Structure 1
Amino acid sequence: MNPSGARTRVKICGITRPEDAVAAAAAGADAIGLVFYPASPRAVSIEQAAAICAALPPFVSRVALFANAASAEIRTVLEQLPIDLLQFHGEETAAECDRYGHAYIKVARVQPGFDLDLFNCRYPGACGILADTYQSGVQGGTGATFDWSLLPQQRRKPLILAGGLNAANVAAAIRQVRPYGVDVSGGVEADKGIKDAARITEFIHEVDNVER
């Protein structure tokens, strides 16, 4: 239920196994996220990511997630994998995000006082903004929600909502925020990095039910 009236897109992030990517696609996910941040329990190697990408059917976007990564690392991933979209989770500047000539979304870690319009202005080249929960010293994957009322209804760019989403709260989140898309990781897992096909299906079912 995004502002344009189109269906809400779904990204299943933190995929570490080909079978989880296949399950996400079968359930109707629009995108999967591959984490290239070594500190994350969901981090994958290029070899793992290649196997995951090879297992995906057409029309499922492959998103590569980085947090303050070296330029050489990002270029290597882009050269070796069929990445559709970059996701920057750290303190990257607009110039650093733009330098690859590749479509990207920038993560905003939301806390009281957050100004989405100002954040949009700082990243004019971003094709979307992903709003996640702020937690000091943590680059995403907090498993916690934030105060959704901090996000304005009028936006310059597509907004993707993340942060502690699961099948129990995603419908309410969509009704209140009306995002372009939602992003989930821990909310559909059996263990960190191991997705649960039934939870993925339930999550996407809840998203789809809001549209009806």
Structure 2
Amino acid sequence: MSIRVKICGLSTPETMAAALEAGADWIGLVRFPKSPRHVDLDAARTLSAQARGRAERVVLLVDPDDAALDAALEAIDPDLIQLHGVETPERVAAIRRRAGRPVMKALGVASRADLDRISAFAAADRLLLDAKPPSGAVLPGGNGRPFDWTLLDGADLPSGWMLSGGLDPLSVAAALARTGATAVDVSSGVESAPGVKDPDRIAAFVRAARAAG
């Protein structure tokens, strides 16, 4: 089974090219000003055009209002919307209706009880299981922290779920073997500094993930 890979938080044409050349299935553009990976709408438009037809384009939004959603849709024309805030199931469904395209909801995991929320998000086309941010963290994701993968043992996970949280080229094979995930998402694990993607690490991550599959 081929493992699908998302490289999130791309912000320059050079690192976008590296992700595309490595064969990433999804590329992620972050629209969250507090993040070091945030891109403005003009840059996002250019990067999205660069990836068009070569990888699925994902825009990451955090609790967007309708105006922010509409602006991202117009500039990026994403293939998938990733919601990484505290959006309710009702809001996820409303965003999906308004956007008219698939939505992925990120859920933070720190305990088995966090998995009980999965069934509520049936409106989402995909679920991304990420490490719950530490107390006081500014970012809802991209903190370079894994969660305890044993929490997924015996869990009823929906088709197409994606694993995130603290993955890097050295850990992704073990993560895939332990969890049975068929799709992975990486951001800080392929950076040389916060928000600075490393082309060599991007290529190594994709190679490692595909080899593990």
Which SS does the other structure have where 2:113 is aligned? Answer: coil
Q: Give TM-score, length-normalised by structure 1.
A: 0.91
Match of 1:184 in 2: 186
**Offset of residue 160 of structure 1:** 0.7
Match of 1:103 in 2: 102
**CA contact under 8 A between 1:25 and 1:60: conserved in structure 2?**
yes
Higher-helix-fraction structure: 2
Give the direction of change, closer, same or farther, for the CA distance of 1:57–1:81 in structure 2 (3 Å limit). Answer: closer
Are residues 1:75 and 2:73 paired? no
Give the direction of change, closer, same or farther, for the CA distance of 1:90–1:209 in structure 2 (3 Å limit). Answer: same
Give the direction of change, closer, same or farther, for the CA distance of 1:127–1:180 in structure 2 (3 Å limit). Answer: farther
**CA contact under 8 A between 2:44 and 2:75: conserved in structure 1?**
no
| Distance in 2 of aligned mates of 1:108 and 1:176 | 19
1:70-109 alpha-carbon deviations (Å, 9 max, x no partner): 2210111112222010111111012212222321111110
Match of 2:170 in 1: 168
Percent identity over the alignment? 38
Give the direction of change, closer, same or farther, for the CA distance of 1:158–1:152 in structure 2 (3 Å limit). Answer: farther
1:30-67 alpha-carbon deviations (Å, 9 max, x no partner): 01111111111111111010111122252401101111
| Distance in 2 of aligned mates of 1:129 and 1:202 | 25
| Distance in 2 of aligned mates of 1:49 and 1:79 | 11
**CA contact under 8 A between 1:14 and 1:34: conserved in structure 2?**
yes
Q: Give TM-score, length-normalised by structure 2.
A: 0.91
**Offset of residue 157 of structure 1:** 3.0
**CA contact under 8 A between 1:127 and 1:157: conserved in structure 2?**
no
**CA contact under 8 A between 2:59 and 2:76: conserved in structure 1?**
no
| Distance in 2 of aligned mates of 1:97 and 1:28 | 29
Structure 1, unaligned runs of 5 or more: 1-5
Match of 1:112 in 2: 111
**Offset of residue 115 of structure 1:** 4.4
**1:88 corresponds to which of 83, 92, 97:** 83
Match of 1:3 in 2: none
**Offset of residue 156 of structure 1:** 2.4
| Distance in 1 of aligned mates of 2:32 and 2:113 | 25
**Offset of residue 197 of structure 1:** 0.9
Alignment length (residue pairs): 205
Match of 1:201 in 2: 203
**CA contact under 8 A between 2:61 and 2:82: conserved in structure 1?**
yes
**CA contact under 8 A between 2:6 and 2:24: conserved in structure 1?**
yes
| Distance in 2 of aligned mates of 1:30 and 1:137 | 32
**1:26 corresponds to which of 21, 28, 41:** 21
Q: Counterpart amino acid of 2:127?
A: I
| Distance in 2 of aligned mates of 1:148 and 1:93 | 25
**Offset of residue 69 of structure 1:** 2.0
49-58 vs 8-17, which moves further: 49-58
Q: CA RMSD in A?
A: 1.4
